[in-house]
Amino acid sequence: MSIRDIHTPVLLERCIELLAPAVARDGAVLVDATLGMGGHTEAFLERFPGLHVIGLDRDTDALRIAGERLRRFGDRVTFVHTVYDGIGEAVEAHAPGGRADGILFDLGVSSLQLDEAARGFAYAQDAPLDMRMDQTTGMTAADVLATYGEGDLRRIFERYGEEKLAGRYARAIIAARATAPIERSGRLVEILQAATPAAAQRTGHPAKRVFQALRIEVNAELTAVERAIPAALDALTVGGRIVVLAYQSLEDRIVKREFADATSSTAPAGLPFEPPEHAPRFRLLVRGAELASDEEKARNPRATPVRLRAAERIRDGRAREAS
């Protein structure tokens, strides 16, 4: 099965529609901050012959696959091995003038990572508990389960998984690892199922939120998003546009907050007029967060939880100048 058959980019046509006014001209630069298997980038390069894309990904497997998929575009693509909070440095190094015309974020875990059982992201498949998006560095999910105390486990399950049974699950993990290390997803699922009251098991799989929390902790995802969105806004040229796809509420709240700051006046309250230097730097392109249509959800189930937000730069000035 080809990459195109197993990987369907989420909200592809809507992303193209929103970014087209900024990237359609010859010489425009689009940053795909979460390149993955290159589905979004491929469509943009096909649609806009004068476009150059800077593709970022922390996953070396993703960069290899995207490189093969996009080889026919030659030097119209620049690949950068980095977490997406390295977007500022990547744009400075590879975009003319150090600014981008368009930026796309497709946050969360990628199709490649979910579908490759050996990576340990999916609770439905028994595999080593790795969960690193960049397998060249950092601690694994097994390391977290082996070294974190009960309080820290409870904290990440509550904060990153919004798990109501966080304390119960943390205690169960501490007890289980005293017998043997928790190194595979299958064993972790068994521990969580055994610790879950019958009534709670009817509300969804007991491992879902814990696996999400472990993945976010291992990859420092929320910290990266908190740094990446302001850096991306700073990297856009006037008239440039940004589109962000988020798949869980924790990420979306960060995006919503940063967009609200960027589209708000910084003038002190009570002034009879707004000084130009305090005017908003961005304007929103969509009202609130857009969701996928029922047709797209049926065609591509991974689009079901997506929330899309988009903005356009209307004035120069760095994000934190007024603070």
| CB contact at 8 A, 144 and 218 | yes
Q: What is the gyration radius of the CA atoms in the chain, in angstroms?
A: 21
CA atoms within 13 A of residue 139's CA, in its CB half-sphere: 13
Alpha helices in the chain (DSSP H): 3-6, 12-23, 39-47, 60-69, 87-94, 111-115, 141-147, 150-161, 166-177, 185-195, 198-201, 208-219, 221-235, 249-262, 294-299
Residues 6+ apart with CB under 8 A from 190: none
| CB contact at 8 A, 52 and 101 | no
CA atoms within 13 A of residue 88's CA, in its CB half-sphere: 12
101 carries a ligand binding annotation: no
Using CA atoms, how far apart are residues 207 and 204, in angstroms rounded to an integer?
9
84 carries a ligand binding annotation: yes
Q: Three-state SS for 202?
A: coil
| Among 127, 140, 12, 5, residue whose Cα is nearest residue 69 | 5
39 carries a ligand binding annotation: yes
Using CA atoms, how far apart are residues 257 and 141, in angstroms rounded to an integer?
29
135 carries a ligand binding annotation: no
| CB contact at 8 A, 103 and 31 | yes
98 carries a ligand binding annotation: no
143 carries a ligand binding annotation: no
| CB contact at 8 A, 310 and 243 | yes
Using CA atoms, how far apart are residues 287 and 239, in angstroms rounded to an integer?
19
57 carries a ligand binding annotation: yes
Task: Report the binding-site residues for S-adenosyl-L-methionine.
Answer: 38-40, 57, 84, 106, 113
Task: Report the binding-site residues.
Answer: 38-40, 57, 84, 106, 113
